[in-house]
Amino acid sequence: MTPRSSTDPRAPLADVVALAALAWVAAATLHEGMGHGLACTAMGGDPTNWSTFHFGCNQEAMSLWSGRIVAGAGTAVNVILAALGWLVWRGSGSLRGRLAGWIVFALNGLTTFGYLVFSAVFGIGDWNGRGVMAGVADPVLARVGLAVVGIAGYYAVVRLAAGMLSRMLDGSDVAANARRFAVIAWMTTGVISLAAAIAAGSDWRSTIGASIGV
């Protein structure tokens, strides 16, 4: 078991806000640019535009599977970032280092599975019928499957993130400090995500998703 940090668990509010903000910006940039962008180029597509909420790729010369790879590449980046966050959390000896790792893990893990639910409910996003699920035989069944996997995965990430947070805190107020960290991080990323969605001119469905941090 990873030992708990002996550092004072009451990290300054500014530290939590700054780490969460940086983690969101990095995740959004890498999801669109490194994920969709590199996949688009690798699959023979032509990048057309890029924002924190969208990467345009001309896929006229692509096969069905190439298009699916481009659509799913952003989520794949989130999975990789979540794994890296867990490794940082596990290996860091300071509270701020472990907190940064925890935020990166939780943000990208919840984004990964929350996106599946988002696409299943609203029928838009990377996992919709024009993205990863393009050409499936039964679109309704595919959306139900996405929702089930997304909800189960989201719950698992929440449980794991809660355990990680409690193990890195000391003192008699572990539960209170854990709630404090979680709420501050969630509110910070939610506000930034909502602002980015509005600035990018996203439709109401994407804006709702952004406001709850998926």
Q: How many domains does the chain have?
A: 1
Phi first, then psi, for residue 49 (nearest 5°) are: -160, 165
What range does the domain containing 163 cover? 13-211
Kindly state whether residue 47 falls inside one of the protein's structural domains: yes
Kindly state whether residue 68 falls inside one of the protein's structural domains: yes
Q: Encode the chain (214 residues) as per-residue pLDDT tens digits.
A: 444 443 444 557 788 899 999 999 999 999 999 999 999 999 999 999 887 778 889 988 899 999 999 999 999 999 999 999 999 999 988 888 999 999 999 999 999 999 899 889 988 889 988 889 999 999 999 999 999 999 999 999 999 999 998 888 765 577 777 888 888 988 898 888 888 888 877 776 776 766 665 5
Residue 172 to residues 6, 9, 175, 178, 194, Cα–Cα distance (Å): 13, 11, 8, 12, 35
CA 125 – CA 66 distance, rounded (Å): 17
Kindly state whether residue 18 falls inside one of the protein's structural domains: yes
Kindly state whether residue 6 falls inside one of the protein's structural domains: no
Strand runs labelled E in the chain: 46-51, 54-58
pTM for the full predicted model: 0.86
Kindly state whether residue 1 falls inside one of the protein's structural domains: no
